[in-house]
């Protein structure tokens, strides 16, 4: 397991809603090219953590750095997105009336960095990128299908593909396999695993399905009451008495 140095630092972050600490002194480091899974019971703070990284929620204290140069707490949501931090929400939000190809085209056009230079030559590059993303996501055969007729799994992969159009450096993925068949889950495991790596993306997956987490994660972070309860391999954390208590107790 080769490590390439951190890409994301969350340090001593706390955020309260009406005096309730949804995130409580959270520390998290994600390495460049890493595939990390975040698990934790409902209310553990997983969504709030993603909201903080993407600039949707501002913490009361602490710091969040992207690489060593970018202080994310000093940046707006669009500025953070333009650094290459992409987020996929649980429900797919593809444009159902447009084809798969058109959805990917639109995802590229939505990139403010590309728009001013959209020349004929750029368009060729966009087309090449779409072909790459179609291949990566296994959607080549569906390119001319309206997104509305895709299976649930295919819609999720298309939405991941839309994020990939902008060549992100960090992908935050919320419950990707909720509602998927076994086969779709296997394909999603392959896809997410193939996306992570040096020179590719770092991928952070929040997921409830433990079988799925076990199938993809090298490192699992367990959140509980807004902070890290345990971190390590799936085997390590699942044997941790603190983790067992949180999941089985109550």
Residue ranges that bind ligand ADP, judged by CB under 6 A: 17, 22, 40, 42-48
Q: What are the angstrom distances between the C-alpha of 101 and each of 41, 94, 105, 108, 140?
A: 37, 11, 6, 11, 9
Report the Cα–Cα distance between both ends of the chain, in Å, rounded: 36
Query: 45 or 84: whose CB is closer to ligand ADP?
Result: 45
Query: 29 or 57: whose CB is closer to ligand ADP?
Result: 57
Any alpha helices (H) in the chain, and if so which ranges?
A: 46-53, 77-82, 100-109, 120-137, 152-164, 182-195, 210-216, 234-239, 241-248
Min CB(42)–ligand ADP separation in Å: 4
Q: Are 41 and 29 in contact (CB under 8 A)?
A: no
Taking Cα atoms as reference points, which of 156, 157, 155, 153 lies closest to residue 137?
A: 157
Min CB(48)–ligand ADP separation in Å: 3
Query: 41 or 232: whose CB is closer to ligand ADP?
Result: 41
Query: 45 or 161: whose CB is closer to ligand ADP?
Result: 45
Q: Are 99 and 144 in contact (CB under 8 A)?
A: yes
Min CB(41)–ligand ADP separation in Å: 7
Min CB(12)–ligand ADP separation in Å: 18
Query: 22 or 94: whose CB is closer to ligand ADP?
Result: 22
Min CB(33)–ligand ADP separation in Å: 25
Using CA atoms, how far apart are residues 9 and 206, in angstroms rounded to an integer? 17
């Amino acid at each position: 397991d080769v490590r390439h140095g951190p890409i994301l630092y969350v340090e001593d972050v706390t955020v309260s809603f009406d005096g309730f600490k949804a995130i409580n002194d959270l520390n998290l480091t994600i390495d460049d090219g890493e595939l990390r899974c975040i698990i934790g019971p409902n209310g553990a703070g997983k969504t709030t953590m993603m909201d903080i990284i993407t600039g949707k929620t501002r913490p009361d204290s602490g710091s969040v750095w992207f690489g060593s140069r970018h202080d994310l707490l000093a940046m707006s949501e669009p500025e953070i997105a333009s650094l290459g931090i992409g987020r996929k929400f649980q429900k797919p939000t593809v444009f159902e009336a447009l084809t798969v190809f058109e959805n990917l085209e639109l995802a590229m056009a939505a990139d403010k960095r590309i728009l001013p230079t959209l020349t004929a030559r750029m368009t060729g590059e966009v087309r090449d990128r779409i072909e790459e993303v179609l291949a990566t996501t296994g959607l080549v055969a569906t390119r001319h299908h309206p997104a509305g007729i895709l299976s649930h799994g295919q819609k999720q992969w298309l939405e991941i593909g839309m994020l990939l159009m902008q060549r992100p450096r960090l992908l935050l993925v919320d419950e990707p396999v909720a509602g998927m068949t076994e086969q779709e889950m296997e394909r999603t495991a392959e896809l997410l695993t193939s996306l992570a790596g040096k020179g590719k993306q770092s991928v952070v997956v929040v997921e409830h399905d433990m079988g799925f987490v076990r199938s993809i994660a090298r490192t699992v972070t367990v959140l509980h009451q807004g902070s890290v309860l345990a971190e390590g391999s799936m085997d390590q954390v699942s044997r941790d008495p603190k983790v067992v208590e949180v999941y089985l107790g109550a």
